[in-house]
Amino acid sequence: MKAPTALTSAAILAGSASAHSIFQEMWVNGVDAGYLTGIRAPDYDGPITDVTSNDVICNGGINPYHTPISTAIVNVPAGATVTTQWHHTLNQVANDPADPIDASHKGPVMTYLAKVENATSLEVTGLKWFKIQEDGLQVSDQTWGVDRLIANKGQVNVKIPSCIPAGQYLMRHELIALHAASSPGGAQLYMECAQLQITGGGSTNPSPTVAFPGAYSATDPGILINIYQTLSNYTIPGPAVFTC
Ligand SMILES: *[C@@H]1O[C@H](CO)[C@@H](O)[C@H](O)[C@H]1NC(C)=O
Ligand SMILES: *[C@@H]1O[C@H](CO)[C@@H](O)[C@H](O)[C@H]1NC(C)=O
Ligand SMILES: [Cu+2]
């Protein structure tokens, strides 16, 4: 990790460990799709810190994908709940205190979908992403999406909208660790994309849509932020969540 100059001692402690995370398995309505099945996961668990890089789309650039990349496209009925699983590393070690992610890595958890022609195509630029889930700061007790992810043993429940058109989609599942985010480029973005075949559904065109890169700026209030204070609000990066 980088060692920015003006950090609190908590952030410096947090920055000393390479305690990152990878989204690596999912369940559809409680049924395990299989380890790494339909998920493009890198071997290395490190973050993306340049929000203008193509690596923020689906990772796989500076952190190359584990090979062979899954060619599975996971069937998901519209309206289903997808449960995602994060772990500290791809090859988990027993009794890892930083599994599923180090507790210092506080920040939001988000999920996006983009309709694609071919969910196994590795060409991911130019897609139109809409947000379907977000979990930022609960102001009352200053707990974050990542705190809830840790409490839930690395799992996040994401409801797939019931009204979107059937077809192939990429699901971009992301968390942003803000422990070093008080200096520009300090926020750590972790994301993987899953290959979905959504069935059923409806005919609603989801909106708003955003581009990656483009949806985030390095100076967004949710990206450039000192979390070592009591926050009265937190602006989750990206667009509003689409609902049917
Ligand atoms: C989808 O993309 C994969 C990977 O590029 C390719 O092997 C496959 O032929 C494509 N399928 C179709 C139907 O175009
Ligand atoms: C959000 O919190 C920041 C820092 O605590 C504060 O400066 C700002 O006024 C707050 N904004 C709103 C809309 O409450
Ligand atoms: Cu980390």
pLDDT tens-digit profile of 19-72? Answer: 899 999 999 999 999 999 999 999 999 999 999 999 999 999 999 999 999 999
**What pLDDT score does 161 carry?**
98
Q: Are 5 and 183 in contact (CB under 8 A)?
A: yes
**243 Cβ below 6 A of ligand 1:** no
**71 Cβ below 6 A of ligand 1:** no
100 located within any domain: yes
Torsion of CA 66, 136, 213, 99, to 10 degrees: -20
**What pLDDT score does 18 carry?**
74
C-alpha of residue 233 to centroid of ligand 2, in Å: 6
Pairing verdict, β 31-32 and 22-28: antiparallel
Mutate to test the pocket of ligand 1, among 58, 69, 118 (most ligand atoms within 8 A of CB): 118
Tally of structural domains, the chain? 1
47 located within any domain: yes
Instruction: Tell which phi-psi region holds residue 14, choosing left (phi > 0), alpha (psi between -120 and 50) or beta.
Output: alpha
Please report the atom of ligand 1 found closest to the CA of residue 118: 1
Supply the CATH number for residue 131's domain: 2.70.50.70
Eight-class DSSP state of 150: H
Reduced to 3 states (helix: H, G, I; strand: E, B; else coil), residue 147 is helix
pLDDT tens digits, 184-223: 999 999 999 999 999 999 999 999 999 999 999 999 999 9
Indicate the residue type of 64.
P
220 located within any domain: no
In this structure, which ligand is nearest to the CA of 121?
A: 1
Reduced to 3 states (helix: H, G, I; strand: E, B; else coil), residue 167 is strand
125 located within any domain: yes
89 located within any domain: yes
244 located within any domain: no
Lowest mean pLDDT, pick from 18-22, 49-53, 100-104, 148-152: 18-22
Q: Which distant-in-sequence residues (6+ apart) come within 8 Å of 117 by Cβ?
A: 168
The CA distance from 135 to 115, in Å, is 23
Residue 77 has pLDDT above 90, yes or no: yes
Q: Are 196 and 74 in contact (CB under 8 A)?
A: yes
C-alpha of residue 194 to centroid of ligand 2, in Å: 35
229 located within any domain: no
Residue 1 has pLDDT above 70, yes or no: no
Q: Which two tokens stand for residue 182?
A: 């008080």
pTM higher than 0.85 for the full model?
yes
5 located within any domain: no
pLDDT tens digits, 164-183: 999 999 999 999 999 999 99
The CA distance from 79 to 28, in Å, is 11
Q: Count CB neighbours of 14 within 10 A.
A: 20
C-alpha of residue 87 to centroid of ligand 3, in Å: 12
Provide the domain limits for residue 70: 21-199
The CA distance from 58 to 127, in Å, is 11
Q: Which two tokens stand for residue 205?
A: 């065109």
| Higher-scoring residue by pLDDT: 11, 27 | 27
**What pLDDT score does 17 carry?**
52
Residue 132 has pLDDT above 60, yes or no: yes
**121 Cβ below 6 A of ligand 1:** yes
Q: What is the mean pLDDT of the chain?
A: 94
